[in-house]
């Protein structure tokens, strides 16, 4: 299958898209057409385990990769997860389910893709004849950074630099990154928010001067952010798997529609659900859940994307984002794949902080998406009430998704929508990654020490504490540097030596 840029001109293979990360014109790579999964193929996937399902979905896009080898690579990646199923679907009550995506090495959903990306990148280099070493630049709002570092640590021929907002991640997220093992890794705090980190990374990708200087050191750039299709593609698979689990457990019949509520920041996770729908998965609504940084909620209500607004630090820091990069892929689709118009809108966003959509485009978006946001207090109340009623603890990001899912159900009732569809809430992180905020939500108690918070949550819930988080308490801080965004390229060159 070929891939094209959302801003036009470039056409590459899947392997080239993964190795390159981002198009030369600054656009994002998208499939030249969406591959279909037929009803018969979907039913054939029922008997597969998760790695087989994921390989089947990925191979639809990455057809130059050998499917048997892809399956084994996925099996090896997901062997790092706790339990037999890397993406278990948990029934909470009739019609309500949690898709748990936090059982990987770093306890967040980014592991679903970033344990696989090293194989996709290495194989992509082989398929495309790339001989240079790879430098991966990654901006993170907390979870991508650790998952990428863990996935690529000590990988031959690869170096990875991660930039995170110094005051914009949780204490546990910061500990995970700044204690990272590996001789090929670099971690830098940035004075600013995630958007500042992401903008700096994109600027380096676009700059001929930066690319030339990196090439002189024998490297070429790639990305582990969801702007890289290799990061996005494995996420499509868990929407299929959740649906198949509902069918196999006789909660639904084949062909029944299912809604998904997704905590959303950079728009990659929910976009994977949209891609699954475009492939033929019977998805009803994709519920786009935002925290106080509600730029996406306002966009879907008004048709105007405007990032010139106050930025809030919240208890769900991985969603503290005002420039949602993957939205570019969606607006490219609803514009009729108009690359010129997409490029103009992205230029307007960069220059003025906003762009406008046409009414018919917003109508197309609203057919698939429902958007809502929630306050900090409402998120806390939702987490508390849900635990009180069902004994199910959730992290702060999942709490945002659950509250907006409840808003959507109320919206459906108010609009007298009678068809009943199951709701799958995508649970993106372990509660233990945000122990202080989770403990406060469940008990009203504050603790200053993250590890005391973990201990008290464990006593309250009996939920197993991940070994990787327990081990952080005794690991030394390796990375303590903090820089302004304009100094990051100097740091990159220093890192390359």
Average pLDDT over residues 388-416: 96
**DSSP characters over 318-382:** GG--SS-TTHHHHHHHHTTS-HHHHHHHHHHHHHHSEEE--HHHHHHHHHHEEEEE--HHHHHHH
Q: What is the pLDDT of residue 425?
A: 98
The DSSP letter of residue 190 is E
DSSP state of 429: B
Average pLDDT over residues 227-246: 97
Model pLDDT, residue 94: 86
Residue 420 pLDDT greater than 90, yes or no: no
Which tokens hold the place of 479? 């990375």
What's residue 241's pLDDT?
98
pLDDT of residue 325: 95
pLDDT tens digits for 463-492? 999 999 999 999 999 999 999 999 999 999
The residue among 304, 298, 319, 229 whose CA lies nearest residue 6 is 229
* Euclidean distance between the first and the last CA atom of the chain, given in angstroms as a whole number: 37
CB of 432 closer than 8 Å to CB of 107: yes
The percentage of residues in the chain with a pLDDT greater than 70, rounded to a whole number, is 100
Token pair of 325 as six digits = 């990069």
Residues 138 and 161: beta-carbon distance below 8 Å: yes
Burial group, residue 156, by CB count within 10 angstroms (0-12, 13-18, 19+): exposed
pLDDT at 384: 98
d(CA 284, CA 45): 20
Q: What is the pLDDT of residue 419?
A: 87
* Six token digits for residue 216: 């002189």
pLDDT-derived band at 242, boundaries 50, 70, 90: very high
Q: Which residues, at least 6 apart from 48, have a Cβ–Cβ distance to it below 8 Å? A: 56
Please state, in angstroms and rounded to a whole number, the distance separating the CA atoms of residues 203 and 489.
Answer: 10
| pLDDT single digits (tens) 130-160 | 999 999 999 999 899 999 999 999 999 999 9
Q: Residue-wise over 320-344: b if at least 16 C-beta within 10 A, else e? A: bbbbbbbbbbbbbbbbeebbebbbe
Residue spans per domain, the chain: 89-104+230-461
The 10s digit of each residue's pLDDT in 82-105 is 999 999 999 999 899 999 999 999
Question: In the predicted model, what is the mean pLDDT of the chain?
Answer: 97
Q: What is the pLDDT of residue 418?
A: 83
Measured CA to CA, the distance from residue 392 to residue 279 in angstroms comes to 32
Q: Residues in the chain, how many?
A: 497
Which of 170, 167, 176, 168 lies closest to 434 in space, CA to CA? 170
Q: Contact 174/146 with Cβ under 8 angstroms?
A: no
Q: Does CATH number 3.40.50.10490 belong to domain 89-104+230-461?
A: no
- Residue 435's pLDDT is what? 97
Spatial distance between the Cα atoms of 482 and 184, rounded to a whole number of angstroms: 19
DSSP labels, 219-275: EEEEE-STTSHHHHHHHHHHHHHHHHHHHHTTSS-TT--EEEEEE-SSSHHHHHHHH
Global model pTM greater than 0.85? yes
Sheet-wide strand order for 96-100: 89-93, 96-100, 423-427, 258-263, 283-290, 369-373
List the beta bridge partners of residue 306. Answer: 354
Q: Which of 492, 160, 140, 484 is nearest to 325 (CA)?
A: 140
């Amino acid at each position: 299958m070929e891939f094209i840029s959302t801003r036009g001109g470039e056409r590459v293979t899947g392997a080239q898209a993964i190795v390159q990360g981002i198009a030369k014109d600054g656009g994002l790579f998208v499939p030249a057409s969406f591959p279909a999964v037929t009803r018969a193929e979907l039913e054939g996937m029922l008997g597969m385990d998760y790695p087989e399902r994921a390989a089947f979905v990925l191979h639809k896009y990455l057809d130059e990769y050998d499917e048997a080898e892809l399956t084994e690579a996925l099996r090896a990646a997901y062997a790092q997860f706790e339990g037999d199923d890397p993406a278990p679907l948990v029934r909470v009550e009739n019609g309500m389910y949690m898709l748990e995506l936090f059982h990987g090495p770093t306890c967040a959903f980014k592991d679903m893709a970033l344990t696989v990306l090293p194989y996709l990148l290495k194989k992509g280099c082989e398929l495309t004849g790339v001989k240079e070493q790879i430098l991966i630049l990654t901006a993170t709002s907390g979870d991508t950074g650790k998952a990428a570092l863990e996935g690529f640590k000590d990988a031959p021929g690869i170096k990875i630099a991660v930039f995170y907002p110094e005051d914009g991640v949780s204490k546990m997220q910061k500990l995970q990154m700044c204690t990272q093992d590996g001789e090929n890794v670099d971690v830098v705090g940035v004075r600013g928010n995630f958007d500042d980190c992401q903008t700096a990374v994109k600027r380096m990708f676009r700059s001929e001067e930066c690319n030339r200087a990196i090439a002189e050191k024998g490297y070429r750039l790639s990305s582990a952010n969801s702007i890289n299709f290799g990061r996005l593609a494995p996420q499509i698979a868990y929407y299929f798997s959740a649906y198949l689990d509902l069918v196999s457990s006789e909660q639904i019949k084949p062909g029944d529609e299912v809604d998904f509520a997704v905590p959303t920041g950079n728009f990659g996770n929910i976009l994977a659900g949209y891609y699954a729908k475009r492939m033929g998965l019977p998805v009803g609504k994709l519920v786009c859940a935002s925290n106080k940084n509600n730029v996406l909620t306002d966009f879907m209500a008004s048709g105007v994307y405007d990032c010139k607004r106050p930025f809030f630090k919240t208890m769900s820091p991985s969603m503290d984002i005002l420039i949602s990069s993957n939205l570019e892929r969606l607006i490219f689709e609803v514009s009729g794949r108009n690359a010129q118009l997409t490029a103009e809108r992205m230029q307007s966003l960069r220059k003025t902080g906003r762009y406008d959509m046409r009414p018919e485009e917003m109508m197309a978006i609203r057919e698939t998406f429902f958007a809502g946001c929630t306050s900090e207090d409402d998120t806390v109340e939702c987490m508390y009430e849900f635990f009180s009623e069902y004994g199910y603890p959730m992290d702060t990001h999942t709490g945002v998704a659950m509250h907006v899912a409840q808003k959507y159900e109320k919206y459906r009732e108010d609009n007298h929508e009678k068809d009943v569809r199951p709701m799958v809430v995508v649970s993106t992180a372990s509660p233990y990654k945000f122990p202080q905020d989770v403990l406060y939500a469940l008990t009203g108690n504050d603790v200053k020490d993250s590890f005391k918070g973990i201990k008290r949550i464990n006593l309250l819930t009996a939920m197993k504490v991940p070994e990787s988080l327990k081990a952080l308490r005794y690991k030394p801080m390796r990375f303590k540097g903090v820089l302004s965004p304009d100094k990051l390229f100097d740091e990159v060159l220093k890192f390359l030596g």
